[in-house]
Chains A and B, each alone.
Chain A
Amino acid sequence: MIQIKNLRVELEDFLLQGINLHVAEEEYFVVLGPTGAGKTVLLESIAGLYPVKSGEIWLRGREVTQLEPERRNISIVYQDHALFPHLTVKENIVFGLRLRKQIGQEIDKSLNWLAELLGIVHLLDRKPDTLSGGERQKVALARALSIKPQVLLLDEPLSALDPETREGVQRELRQVHDRLKITTIHVTHDFEEAIALADHIAVLGEGCVKQVGTPEQIFRQPNSEFVARFAMARNIFTGEVADRDDRSAIFHTEGIELVVSSELRGKWHASVRPEDILISHQPLHSSARNSFCGTITQVMDKGSTLYLTVNLPPDFTCLVTRRSFEEMGLAKNQRVYITFKASAIHIF
């Protein structure tokens, strides 16, 4: 579908080079990288908005490297949504359709369909500056989808949103993608966002692509220190959430069951931050809902803190301070208990 061959883009203070990516038809592709890795510039190059120094971009078997953006039919949603402030929501959405000289009836049909799909019918006559972050996001998405793009580019679409809105929009992005089957390239610096949404992930850093793979491959088998830094020290599991009682749920994964507090049910990911895990020699009788016995299989010294890998199985990475490490006399191959609260588990 999209093939990027040996792309080289020059920015003011650094360089993107040797970028090779292949995004398949109808795929949800996530480009993951730290802030300032050139993710936005990569998207703009694909859209034809940023000059390419060398290399090629192919779209459905046709080279488009030098094609003007208005002829590519690739739409983009920016982080701050970039809605046209002088136009109403409705005018924003139909901007691309009007340019295509469609007849009024067709425009209205597309508008209504999109507004219903994204639940923004009641906003159509408003101006962008009266909308909330989540609403703007939906309008920007509707505007981008209106032209039935070959590829949808999303530039950190969730970063500008508050945490509560973010989860909803994230799910909606995936739903819209699954329904419309539009090839999507989404850039983010958020590892969990990438895992939750992607069919494939490319990790971008230091001006080049570090690794491409499925989410599973990226967090299970990082191929470099750089990718590992993103994935490392995170306990991410894939599994299924089921009802437990009124107030909590059970997450089944790899032979263990975690008590979680989440509204979500079905196949999801769960993560626990290493610093939220308590380590003890004896089982803890506390309000924490999850307590397991395991063996320390690895100790990674980071100076004032240490990362311990505790195998139950599966492996959990835990963070301890040097002080407690020494006071407790922890060592490799020791049996210990790990304990964490249900609320410390993030389901996504």
Chain B
Amino acid sequence: MSKKWFTTNKMTLTFILLGLIIFLFIIVPLVKMVVASDPKILLETLLDPEVRGAIWLTLCAALLATIVGFTLGIPLAYLLAHTDFTGKKLVEGLIDVPIVVPHTAAGIALLFVFGRNFFVGKVFHFIGIDFVDATAGIVIAMLFVSIPFLIDSAKEGFKKVDVRLEKVSRTLGASPWQTFFRISFPLAWRSILAGSIMMWARGISEFGAVIILAYHPMIAPTLIFERFETYGLDYARPVAVLLIILCLAVFIGLRAIVYRGEKT
């Protein structure tokens, strides 16, 4: 690009500068923390059973939340994309509420319903599932705050599926179920997968809602918080670095899988 191009396009130049500032704002703290860490201490931290347990629990709980969200959220996303009903806008708005409420508030709301004083909590207690200070509590906290990402993404994916493809499928003898599994779902799959990854990633990073319901067993964000509170920055940082590296690796890997086939 020539010099002239820049001088004649002041707007682009301004936008590049502004964009660069926010990009560095995101990247510098992350990179600084990673490169400033002593590899020896990182290795020690990785070998710490408490840290490994917390990270493993975080990944599993977020995955479980995603699986539950997938099973219950995909049908809703399909309905929202393909049908019209009164109050649809309201439903769509309410689904996004978990994104905007403070997550500690979300945790308290969940505690009310899934605690043992409310019938929902009682019913689950009766079948042997408790939420307070339990893995199940972590899962529903993650589910609550991250499900909008999956539903919204899947909904957009289903919207892009031409209704006429489904209609043709029906005329060729496919039932509504067969049409869903052979046409709509495969065609929306990329968006669904992208939404699932977002949901999982959002679950891994959740802290506020989780500590209200279940401080123990400890997930990685809680562990970082506790070490920071009890021992200070130097002890919290290695755990944080590990979590960041892990999240980055997983996130980049999964995105690569999702967008692999895009250009063909």
- A interface list, Cβ under 8 A from B: 44, 47-49, 68-70, 72-76, 78, 80, 82, 84-86, 95-96, 99-100, 143-144, 146-147
CB-CB under 8 A from A44, the residues of chain B are 167
B165: nearest chain-A partner, CB-CB: A82
Question: Do A69 and B186 contact each other (CB < 8 Å), given the known contacts A96-B172, A96-B173, A143-B172?
Answer: no
CB proximity of A90 to chain B, nearest CB, Å: 15
A49 touches B183 (CB 8 A): no
B174 touches A99 (CB 8 A): yes
- Where chain B touches its partner, the secondary structure class is helix
CB-CB under 8 A from A146, the residues of chain B are 172
**Quick one: which of B165, B172, B183, B187 contacts A75, CB cutoff 8 A?**
B172
Report Cα–Cα, A48/B167, bound state, in Å: 9
B89 CB–A CB distance under 8 Å: no
CB-CB under 8 A from A74, the residues of chain B are 171
Could you list some 5 contacts between A and B, CB below 8 A?
Answer: A48-B170, A49-B167, A72-B171, A73-B173, A99-B172
Q: Could you mark each residue 160-200 of chain B with 1 if its beta carbon is under 8 Å from any beta carbon of chain A, else 0?
A: 00101101111111110010001100110000000000000
CB-CB under 8 A from B172, the residues of chain A are 70, 75, 95-96, 99, 143, 146-147
A99 touches B167 (CB 8 A): no
CB-CB under 8 A from B174, the residues of chain A are 70, 95-96, 99
Most chain A beta-carbon neighbours within 10 Å: one of B162, B169, B172: B172
A99 touches B168 (CB 8 A): no
Question: Do A76 and B173 contact each other (CB < 8 Å), given the known contacts A82-B165, A86-B187?
Answer: no
Question: Do A69 and B183 contact each other (CB < 8 Å), given the known contacts A82-B164, A82-B165?
Answer: no
CB-CB under 8 A from A147, the residues of chain B are 172-173
CB proximity of B44 to chain A, nearest CB, Å: 49
Question: Do A49 and B170 contact each other (CB < 8 Å), given the known contacts A82-B162, A82-B164?
Answer: yes
Nearest 7 A/B pairs, CB to CB: A96-B172, A69-B170, A82-B164, A99-B173, A49-B167, A70-B173, A82-B168
Report Cα–Cα, A95/B167, bound state, in Å: 13
CB-CB under 8 A from B164, the residues of chain A are 78, 80, 82
**Quick one: which of A68, A72, A95, A144 contacts B169, CB cutoff 8 A?**
A95
CB-CB under 8 A from A69, the residues of chain B are 167, 170-171
For chains A and B in complex, what number of residue pairs have CB atoms within 8 angstroms? 63
What number of B residues sit within 8 Å (CB to CB) of A?
17
CB proximity of B73 to chain A, nearest CB, Å: 22
A155: nearest chain-B partner, CB-CB: B164
CB-CB under 8 A from A143, the residues of chain B are 168, 172
CB proximity of B204 to chain A, nearest CB, Å: 31
**Quick one: which of B171, B173, B175, B187 contacts A49, CB cutoff 8 A?**
B171
Report Cα–Cα, A146/B173, bound state, in Å: 11
Q: Could you mark each residue 90-119 of chain B with 1 if its beta carbon is under 8 Å from any beta carbon of chain A, else 0?
A: 000000000000000000000000000000
B173 touches A84 (CB 8 A): no
Report Cα–Cα, A147/B174, bound state, in Å: 12
CB proximity of B168 to chain A, nearest CB, Å: 5
CB-CB under 8 A from A144, the residues of chain B are 171
Report Cα–Cα, A70/B172, bound state, in Å: 6
CB proximity of A72 to chain B, nearest CB, Å: 7
B171 touches A99 (CB 8 A): no
Report Cα–Cα, A293/B173, bound state, in Å: 60
CB-CB under 8 A from B186, the residues of chain A are 86
Question: Do A84 and B165 contact each other (CB < 8 Å), given the known contacts A70-B175, A99-B178?
Answer: yes
Most chain B beta-carbon neighbours within 10 Å: one of A68, A69, A99, A143: A69
A84 touches B171 (CB 8 A): no
Report Cα–Cα, A256/B55, bound state, in Å: 91
CB proximity of A52 to chain B, nearest CB, Å: 15
A78 touches B168 (CB 8 A): yes
CB-CB under 8 A from A73, the residues of chain B are 173
A143: nearest chain-B partner, CB-CB: B172
Report Cα–Cα, A76/B168, bound state, in Å: 7
Report Cα–Cα, A78/B172, bound state, in Å: 13
A47: nearest chain-B partner, CB-CB: B171
B175: nearest chain-A partner, CB-CB: A70
Report Cα–Cα, A95/B172, bound state, in Å: 7
CB-CB under 8 A from A72, the residues of chain B are 171
Report Cα–Cα, A42/B182, bound state, in Å: 27
